[in-house]
Amino acid sequence: MNKENLPSEEFRSPRNVMKPDVRSAMIGANSIEQFHTNIKDYQLGEHVDEKIRIQYDTVRNLYVHAYYVYRFFPIVKHQLYVTLEHALRECIGEKTLDKYRKDKNKQMSKNSPRFTRGLKLCMTYVVEHNLIKNEDFSVWKRVKEQRAEEEYQKKILDIMISENLESYEWNEADIDYENVNYDYNYVNVITETTAGLRNSLAHGSTMLSPTPLVTFDIVSTVINKVYERSKELC
């Protein structure tokens, strides 16, 4: 198929509605199956309310259809954050969140910005109540593993230098993945960024880029873990 004949910005007709957006090939996607494979493993568990799972799967379906309409991507990202906030509000409860908001605002100094009834409040609540943790997230775990391997590599180099060795066998069992010093607070970064990104999309934005799969990873992980650890609340 000639890429020059593929649709991009125009309003689709019944004749070309199922043709891939020309920009899909530009990001290395050559089939609808590839889009489906990208997203199929980012699921919500059966322990999450069905109405939340339906909303989330609607977003996943929209992601798959971004193969045909590239401009679906910002809508996908926005709806992910909408679904995240809805899930947290449903699980934690409006009364609990409202009391938490009032208590937090009372603790703040006079000139500090106040919490509103938004995603930032929900995320702050789940972090403070240990409903999500750094080790829940694949990105954090992957970087921690890299740190452990870097420290092991440095240890090997030191031994080789001190003992004047030309080679040294890499032993996976000697890498201390558990006790490596890695204190990056990923949950705080998520808390500080998700609300701002959601608001920029909700209030209008010209940003146009593929929704990164890490966003699905973050949202699905937060929802799954909060529901898992808050059974008495949900």
Report residue 2's pLDDT band, with 50, 70 and 90 as the boundaries: very low
Residue range 137-151: average pLDDT?
85
Task: In whole angstroms, give the CA distance from residue 199 to residue 196.
Answer: 5
- Of 86, 85, 82, 80, give the one whose Cα is nearest residue 59: 80
Report residue 76's pLDDT band, with 50, 70 and 90 as the boundaries: very high
Condensed to tens digits (0 to 9), the pLDDT of residues 99-143 reads 989 988 888 777 777 787 889 999 999 999 999 999 999 888 888
pLDDT for residue 57: 97
- How many other C-beta atoms are found inside a 10 Å radius of the C-beta of residue 167? 7
Residue 137 corresponds to which tokens in the numbers above? 């997230």
pLDDT for residue 125: 94
Q: Among 43-52, 93-102, 194-203, which stretch is predicted with the lowest mean pLDDT?
A: 194-203
pLDDT surpasses 50 at 229? yes
Rg (CA), the chain: 22
pLDDT for residue 65: 94
CA 76 to chain centre: 12
70 in Cβ contact with 26 (< 8 Å): no
Residue 50 corresponds to which tokens in the numbers above? 């069905």
